[in-house]
Chain A
Amino acid sequence: GQQVMQIPQYQHVQEGEDFTTYCNSSTTLSNIQWYKQRPGGHPVFLIQLVKSGEVKKQKRLTFQFGEAKKNSSLHITATQTTDVGTYFCAGSSGSQGAQKLVFGQGTRLTINP
C-alpha cells in the first residue's frame, strides 16, 4: 500500500536557525497536506498543496510540492520557540476524499532558546 516517509524524525535547533522537514511518497499523490501537533495536542491543519511544483508561503513557513507529486518539504526560516511541535505531512492519492490521508511519521522540532 501507499507509504509516506518523513525525515528527519527529530530536529533540534537554536532559536533563529532554519528548519526543514522532507516527505516522500511511494506513489503519486493527488494532494499533500501539512499539520502541526503540539505536545499533548491534536493535529492542526497548516496547508494543502495540489499542483505539481507548487510553492506556498505562510509568513516564515515555505511549503513545496515536487514536480512528480511524490515529495514535499516544509521549511521554517528563523525558528521561534512557538514553532516547537511535531510536523506531519499527509498524502492522499485515492478517490475517496482528502481525509483518507496517509501520514508520515512526523518530524519533532525542539528549539533551544
Chain B
Amino acid sequence: NAGVMQNPRHLVRRRGQEARLRCSPMKGHSHVYWYRQLPEEGLKFMVYLQKENIIDESGMPKERFSAEFPKEGPSILRIQQVVRGDSAAYFCASSPQGGRRTEAFFGQGTRLTVV
C-alpha cells in the first residue's frame, strides 16, 4: 500500500501562472481532503471531496482556487494566477470513509513557491 501520493513535491511558479497539485489517495480510500500550511502555522482546511463530488469547500478562497476528484485519476487542486501569498505547503489527506472516527492519512505535501 503506497500511501497517499502527492506530486510534485516542490513546485515553483511565477506570479500569474497556474499551479496544479495532484493527490492520489490510499488504495480503497474514496474521501480526500486538502489542507494548506503556511510557515510556522497549523494546517487550514480547504476542501473535502468524494469521487466526482465536492462535499465541503468552506475553506477554499472564493477566487482562483478550485478542486476536483474525478471518477478516474487523482484529485487536483488548481490555483490560477498565483500570487506570492499562495506560497505554502499543500497537504492532501485521505480516508476510507467520511465518518467522525477515522484517522487521516496525509501525503508528503506539495511545497509551492511563487516567485
A residues neighboring B (CB under 8 Å)? 6, 30-31, 33, 35, 41-45, 48, 50, 88, 90, 92, 95-106
Q: When chains A and B are docked, how far (Å) is the Cα of A81 from the Cα of B99?
A: 35
Minimal beta-carbon separation of B34 from chain A (angstroms): 10
- Asked whether A48 lies within 8 Å of B33 as measured between CB atoms, the reply is no
Q: Is the interface of A mostly helix, strand, loop or mixed?
A: loop
Chain B residues within an 8 Å CB radius of A96: 48, 55-56, 98
Within 8 Å by CB of A98, from B35, B44, B99, lies B99
- Asked whether A97 lies within 8 Å of B42 as measured between CB atoms, the reply is no
B115 interface residue, CB < 8 Å from A? no
- Asked whether A100 lies within 8 Å of B33 as measured between CB atoms, the reply is yes
For window 39-69 of B, CB contacts with A under 8 Å fall at 41-45, 48, 55-56
B18 interface residue, CB < 8 Å from A? no
B residues neighboring A (CB under 8 Å)? 31, 33, 35, 41-45, 48, 55-56, 91, 93, 95, 97-109
- Asked whether A97 lies within 8 Å of B102 as measured between CB atoms, the reply is yes
- With A42-B107, A44-B106 known as contacts, the answer to whether A97 contacts B99 (CB < 8 A) is yes
Chain A residues within an 8 Å CB radius of B91: 42-43
A-B contact count (CB 8 A): 77
- Asked whether A99 lies within 8 Å of B48 as measured between CB atoms, the reply is yes
- Asked whether B44 lies within 8 Å of A103 as measured between CB atoms, the reply is yes
Within 8 Å by CB of A105, from B41, B98, B100, lies B41
5 closest residue pairs by CB, A with B: A103-B42, A97-B98, A45-B103, A103-B43, A99-B33
Q: When chains A and B are docked, how far (Å) is the Cα of A78 from the Cα of B98?
A: 36
- Asked whether A48 lies within 8 Å of B45 as measured between CB atoms, the reply is no
- Asked whether B106 lies within 8 Å of A97 as measured between CB atoms, the reply is no
Chain A residues within an 8 Å CB radius of B33: 99-100
- With A42-B91, A42-B109, A43-B91 known as contacts, the answer to whether A98 contacts B42 (CB < 8 A) is no
Minimal beta-carbon separation of B66 from chain A (angstroms): 18
Minimal beta-carbon separation of A78 from chain B (angstroms): 26
